[in-house]
Amino acid sequence: MKGTSRRPVAIETLLAEHGRLVEDALDRYLPSSDTPPQAVHQAMRHSVFAGGKRLRPILVIAAAGVVGAAPATVLPSACATELIHTYSLIHDDLPAMDNSPTRRGRPTCHVLYGEAMAVLAGDALHALAFELLVRNAEVPGCQPARVLRAIGEVTHGIGTAGMVGGQVLDLLAVGGPLDEAAVRQMHRLKTGSLIRACLRVGAILGDAEPATLEALDRYGEHVGLAFQIIDDILDVVGEQAKLGKETGSDATLAKVTFPSVFGVDRSRVIAADATRQAVEALVSLGGAADRLRDLAEFLLHRER
Amino acid sequence: MKGTSRRPVAIETLLAEHGRLVEDALDRYLPSSDTPPQAVHQAMRHSVFAGGKRLRPILVIAAAGVVGAAPATVLPSACATELIHTYSLIHDDLPAMDNSPTRRGRPTCHVLYGEAMAVLAGDALHALAFELLVRNAEVPGCQPARVLRAIGEVTHGIGTAGMVGGQVLDLLAVGGPLDEAAVRQMHRLKTGSLIRACLRVGAILGDAEPATLEALDRYGEHVGLAFQIIDDILDVVGEQAKLGKETGSDATLAKVTFPSVFGVDRSRVIAADATRQAVEALVSLGGAADRLRDLAEFLLHRER
């Protein structure tokens, strides 16, 4: 029965192992809470160490792994993507945006440190992310041109053609009627762009062939969509204790999500379909992409 | 009498010429107001084209000029520094921060586009700045390693050890008593760090020798302080019509500025002293640094 149980064990072990790597690295890279100006460093650390799944850094590491690059060779860039994700959550939670008092069961940054400090903590994480991307060039054998390309991928993924663009569409769409194409487009930008950038960054730093980069990019596109849909479903149906954040907060805001537009059942079908497409995108990569296949399945079936 | 009139004419011509270069480049680099999502691009353009002096890009260009590099070779990075400056102003003006309804006589970003959009417009400019820094590598002959070093200078200048750190000190200091050393430190970080980074970026992209880089860095430190002090003085004594922003707004907020702590007269002395030190820092550079000397004097005596 080894064949049937290998994958679930492997992916959970992998997630725990790489998650720990990322956790330790983030702790090293972030200024300590004792370093002046303390208040902003405390606010940054509060939000970075708030129990996130570290999906984005894990995707960077996994993409590099497909082309044989060790986690240590992409760790600064992997952590950079988590800092960008965290900055976007801090700003998203602000009273002027989603006005979220809690996230994953803990008070949000602006509730604890004030709105002004939350804006600045987000800005500081945004800047620190680029500092880490640059530091990836200190890894022995890492060519500056590759690091520059990786930074270019990140900037493209998080600007108005990517993450921020998706946040704008989200902002403008609250309460309004959207069709499936518009909801897909919003999520493609808001969550998908950074996730795709993570796969591209890992691949580029690992010196992947263009065809491999292309396959990983397509994987990222589909897995990013599936991830976001499951997130939205968990927001609706998740038990508060399991998820650790206020469930149903999207509905309170009348935000446009997959379940709010298509219902939970149809959303699950779309997520499963996206996961299938993600796995199919990897077909040319053979066994080297097994972990990414497992990860896609794991993300589809997760309960938090 | 040519000798006495050469410098004032030269620097104003230079400022106009380089200012126009920067203005045109910013217009090319920023997504058009018609490009979706339009709202955020309009908000970004509103704040970028709000009549700024373009000091930071001009300093990048001037530093590169000291080592013989043409403006075109550093233009993307020069514009990046202006986008960073603009993002910081947008966030600084937010209700949770300085709560400024106008800047340079025009409504601020959040007044026109709403707080949420202003947060996102700032974030988008922040990301676009790094996109432009990366694009500097497309300049023929520009080595990737130099571009990476330049990006590193920017990230260092704008994080919690630089600009954001200064904003935090500013935030925490409102209304509180500060001595001269604390006021200097706050301004050194809040305005000085990015200005120093501008000079370092121009020097690094122009392939300056370490001693030249060091001299330009010291110049930036002193000229940045003088610039900030004059800005604060103009805020107090400037006529509203001339300056085009609500004068005295710092006093309303009980913000810690040089004139509020030392009075206008003593502040002018400190600014003149800083300008002298800025000029002295350039002594080893000879005639190549004439424009930077003129610029320091011009900034000291400006009336807006």
Other C-beta atoms lying within 10 Å of the C-beta of residue B299? 20
Inform me whether the pLDDT recorded for A255 exceeds 80: no
CA distance linking residue A6 with residue A4, whole number of Å = 6
Say what the ipTM of the complex is: 0.93
Q: Which two tokens stand for residue A264?
A: 């939970």
Three-state secondary-structure class, residue A103: strand
> Which residue type occupies B178?
L
Q: What is the mean pLDDT of residues A60-74?
A: 97
What percent of chain B is predicted at pLDDT more than 90?
A: 80
Query: A-chain residues within 8 Å CB-CB of B171?
Result: 116-117, 120
- Among A164, A189, A204, the strongest candidate for a mutation testing the B interface, having the largest count of B CBs within 10 A, is A164
Question: Which residues of A, range 110-139, sit inside 8 Å of B by Cβ?
Answer: 114-117, 119-120, 122-124, 126-128, 130-131, 134-135, 137
Q: What is the pLDDT of residues B13-68, one digit of tens each?
A: 989 999 999 999 999 999 999 999 999 999 999 999 998 899 999 999 999 999 99
> Which residue type occupies A101?
P
What's the mean pLDDT when you consider all of chain B? 91
pLDDT, position A303: 85
> Which residue type occupies B5?
S
pLDDT, position B248: 56
CA distance linking residue B7 with residue B11, whole number of Å = 6
Query: Are A130 and B134 an interchain contact pair (Cβ–Cβ within 8 Å)?
Result: no
- Are the beta carbons of B10 and B291 closer than 8 angstroms? yes
Q: Which two tokens stand for residue A244?
A: 């650790």
Other C-beta atoms lying within 10 Å of the C-beta of residue B7? 15
Peptide bond into A37 cis (omega under 30): yes
> Is A72 exposed, middle or buried (CB count within 10 Å of its CB: 0-12, 13-18, 19+)?
middle
Question: Which residues of B, range 269-288, sit inside 8 Å of A by Cβ?
Answer: none
What percent of chain A is predicted at pLDDT more than 90?
A: 80
- Are the beta carbons of A207 and A66 closer than 8 angstroms? no
Would the CA dihedral through A219, A225, A228, A230 be positive or negative? negative
Band (A261; pLDDT cuts 50, 70, 90): confident
Inform me whether the pLDDT recorded for B240 exceeds 50: no
What percent of chain A is predicted at pLDDT more than 70?
A: 90
> A184 or B45: which carries more pLDDT confidence?
B45
Tokens 């070093």, residue located: B149
| Lowest mean pLDDT, pick from A105-119, B249-263, B268-282, B283-297 | B249-263
Q: What is the pLDDT of residues B41-54, one digit of tens each?
A: 999 999 999 988 99
CA distance linking residue B90 with residue B108, whole number of Å = 7
Q: Which helix (H) or strand (E) holds B107?
A: strand B106-107
Number of helices (H), then strands (E), in chain B: 15, 2
Inform me whether the pLDDT recorded for A108 exceeds 70: yes
pLDDT, position B17: 95
Residue range A2-301, CATH number: 1.10.600.10
Question: Which residue ranges make up each domain of chain B?
Answer: 2-301
Query: Are B123 and A171 an interchain contact pair (Cβ–Cβ within 8 Å)?
Result: no
Q: What is the mean pLDDT of residues A285-296?
A: 96
> Which residue type occupies B230?
I
Query: A-chain residues within 8 Å CB-CB of B127?
Result: 126, 155, 158-159, 164
pTM: 0.94
- Which is nearest to B38 in space by CA: B95, B113, B106? B113
Inform me whether the pLDDT recorded for B3 exceeds 70: no
CA distance linking residue B224 with residue A174, whole number of Å = 43
- Are the beta carbons of B163 and B129 closer than 8 angstroms? no
Q: Which two tokens stand for residue A242?
A: 């399991």
What are the Cα distances from residue A226, in Å, to A38, A187, B239, B292?
A: 38, 10, 58, 55
Give yes or no for B300 touching A (CB within 8 A).
no
Tokens 């994953």, residue located: A104
